[in-house]
Structures are given as C-alpha cells and as structure tokens.
Amino acid sequence: MWNIPFLPPTASKEGEAISALYWTISWLAVFFGSIVLFGAIYLAVKYRASNEAVRRDDAVETDMKLELTWTLLPLVLALAIFAWAAKLYADIYAPREGAYEVFVIGKQWMWHCQHPNGVRENNELHLPAGRLIKVTAISQDVIHAFSIPAFRVKRDVVPGRYNTMFFTPTQPGKYHLFCTEYCGTKHSEMIGWVYVMQPEEFEKWLAGGGAAAAPTAMSLEEQGKQVFEGVGACNTCHMNPNSAVKAPDLRGLFGSKVKLADGSTVVADEAYLRESILNPAAKVVAGYQAAMPAYQGVLSEEQVVQLIAYIKSLANQKPAGGQ
Ligand code: CUA
C-alpha cells in the first residue's frame, strides 16, 4: 500500500547527494511550515473573542531575542543550503578529469549518441556503472534538454554551442531519458533509455559494436580523419606542404593558446574549433588570411564532432616548421 513511486530511483553518485539535499530542504519546509500553521491555530483558539480569561492589556510588543532568532536562524540555514547546493551544482557542471566522454546530438525528434570508439546509438545510451561520465551535447536545430531523472541530471541542448555535464552512474539498470524542453510537435516522443551496465559487460558491448543498430569499425577520430580528407577536404590546405593557401597547422593545436589577428588570445578548445570550422572568419589566426570557406550548413553536427575528435588526436604531434 505504501509502495508509491514518489520519486524515480536514485542511480548516480551525484543523484544521491542531490536527493539528500532535496529531502533536507523539504523537511525543513515541513518543520517551519508546521510551526506557522499550528502556531496560528493555537493562538486563534487561545485568544478567541469569547475567551474572557486571557489578559491582553500588558502584551509584550517587541522582543529583541525573538527578533534576532527568527532573522539569524533562517539566514544561516539559507546560506548553508546555498553553499551545499552550489557544491553539488559544480560537481555536475564544472569540468572534471578522467571521464568517459559521450557526445549527444539532439535533433527534432531524436537523441543521437556517439561513443569515442565510434559506436553510435539512437534514443539509447549505454554506460558503464561506477565510472565518471562526461556528456557533451549540442543541438542540430532547436533547443532541447537532455534529462535523466534517475541520475538527477539535466542539461539544455542548444544549437551552436557545446554544453557539458558530469555524473557517475552507480546502479546497473534501465532508466528513462527525456527531452525536457518543448521542441515541437513530437517533443513528447523525444525519449529513450539509458542502460547502465557492469564495466566488463559494457566493454564487451562496446567492443562488439553496440546493439548493432549502426555498427562501425571506425573510431570517432578515424571518422573525423575521413571527413577531413573527404567531404570537408580540409587537407587541401591544412598540413599540406604543397598547398597554395597558407593554413594553420593543426598538429599540437588542441588545448594550446592561439594568437588571433586582432591581438587577443584564445584557448583551442572544442567550442573554438567548432566555431573556426563553421564560421572561420569569426576568429582569424594571427599571420593568416581569412581564406577558409565557412562550413556552416555543409557539415552536420555529427561530422563536426568527428572532426574535432580527429584534431584532438593530433594534440600530441609537433607542427611542421615550428609554427
Ligand atoms: Cu527535444 Cu523536446
């Protein structure tokens, strides 16, 4: 009788911490709400007009101790909750090292997920238990939101920018995946499942090409290399010693500081690479002409993710000619 599914199960490390915070806030609200409610009822009864016995003439009008208590106590409680919540927020949204990274692309109306080794899935996401996961998400059209209630995590999935979040699934099982931003007619059908597996099981699944929905023998960076040399034709200019157009060498680029033509400096992260692929004129590297064509509308978000994975894989190589 009492088995009411009040909340979805908590299946991530961060989710357990968030649930604890949630219940603390809820019970505090119940506690202070009760004081006000039952205090009001008690006083209404005690000081009802027909109760002659109570003297009202010498009622105390102010009490410094009482005033200080009901000012300072809520202040301390509210600040403690703020600090606690800020820490949990940072656990999910601040960058952390050593995560297993999956790319998520939202489009009307499906979730497209990509693993580093090239395995792709639609409306399904397989993850290993006990490992920190980094989700990097972008939308190909309108604003979506990637939400896994059992993990207590949610992130807006926005066109034109990579949004990330971190969590650690703990319990193997099958969990709901939702789009929680109204995104058009079939928003309510933009749902899926997250499968959390034991690490060994997950490795097997991953090595076997996933659920064979779209198995691919190539890793993400190999796919990126193919885009680089194929549809993108990036290799006509980049890292081509015979190129007529001078283009920046991409070896050792990822994570480095880049000097721009306007004198400013940027770090070559995913967002910078994406912008420079789709809209190269936005940030021109110092010493180069803005000669590169824009790939906006030419490459899909999926291909951009692959290209970035390829450029990332060049991070440890030395550029030619000491550029
Ligand atoms: Cu996508 Cu709602």
Residue 206 resides in a domain: yes
* pLDDT for residue 322: 46
> Which atom of ligand 1 is found nearest the CA of 179?
2
pLDDT tens-digit profile of 151-195?
999 999 999 889 999 999 999 999 999 999 999 999 999 999 999
Task: Quickly count: other Cβ atoms within 10 Å of residue 248's Cβ.
Answer: 20
Q: In sequence order, what DSSP letters do the residues of 42-98 get, joined into one string? A: HHHHHT-TT-TT---TT-----HHHHHHHHHHHHHHHHHHHHHHHHHHHHHHS--SS
Which atom from ligand 1 is nearest to the alpha carbon of 106?
A: 1
Residue 201, domain member (yes or no): yes
Are 300 and 181 within one domain? no
Please name the residue ranges forming H helices in the chain. Answer: 13-46, 64-93, 199-207, 220-229, 270-278, 301-313
> What's the domain count of the chain?
2
Domain membership of residue 51 (yes or no) is no
Same domain, yes or no: 170 and 28 = yes
pLDDT tens readout for residues 243-301: 777 788 888 888 888 888 888 888 888 888 888 888 888 888 888 887 787 887 778 88
Give me the CATH number covering residue 153: 2.60.40.420
My answer on whether 140 and 248 are in the same domain is no
Helix (H, G, I), strand (E, B) or coil at 197: strand
Identify the three-state secondary structure at position 5. Answer: coil
Question: Which residue, 161, 188, 217, sits at the end of a domain?
Answer: 217
CB of 181 sitting under 6 A from ligand 1: yes
Ligand 1 contact, 190 CB (< 6 A) = yes
Residue 290 lies in a domain: yes
Would you say residue 321 has pLDDT above 60? Answer: no
Ligand 1 atom closest to residue 139's alpha carbon, by position in its atom list:
1
- Could you tell me if the CB of 144 is within 6 A of ligand 1? yes
Predicted TM-score of the model (pTM) = 0.72
Tens digits of residue pLDDT in 81-92: 999 999 999 999
Clarify whether residues 84 and 213 are in a common domain. Answer: yes
Q: What is the CATH number of the domain that holds 272?
A: 1.10.760.10
Q: Is residue 307 part of a domain?
A: yes
Contact between residue 157 and residue 143 where contact means Cβ atoms under 8 Å apart: yes
At residue 42, the pLDDT reads 93
Q: Report if residue 321 sits inside a domain.
A: no
Residue nearest to atom 1 of ligand 1 (CA): 144
Q: Tell me, yes or no, whether 17 lies in a domain.
A: yes
277: CB partners within 8 A, 6+ apart? 295, 299, 304, 307, 308
User: In terms of domains, do 206 and 259 share one?
Assistant: no
**Residue ranges making up the domain that contains 261:** 220-313
**34 and 165 both lie in a single domain:** yes
Q: For residue 139, how far is its CA from the centre of ligand 1 (angstroms)?
A: 10
β pairing state of 100-107 and 133-139: parallel
Helix axes 220-229, 301-313, angle to 10 degrees: 100
226 part of a folded domain: yes
pLDDT band at 323 (very low <50, low <70, confident <90, very high): very low
Neighbours of 204 (CB within 10 A): 11
What integer pLDDT is reported at residue 147 of this predicted model? Answer: 95
Tens of pLDDT, residue by residue over 2-47, are 677 778 888 999 999 999 999 999 999 999 999 999 999 998 988 8
Domain finish residue from 158, 183, 217: 217
CB 166 within 8 A of CB 91: yes
Q: Would you say the CB of residue 187 lies under 6 angstroms from ligand 1?
A: yes
Strands (E), 230-306: 257-259, 265-267
At 41-69, the pLDDT tens digits run: 998 988 887 877 666 677 778 889 999 99
Q: Which pLDDT score, from 0 to 100, does residue 274 have?
A: 87
Boundary residue ending a domain (217, 238, 269)? 217
- Give the confidence band of 236 by pLDDT, cuts at 50, 70, 90: confident
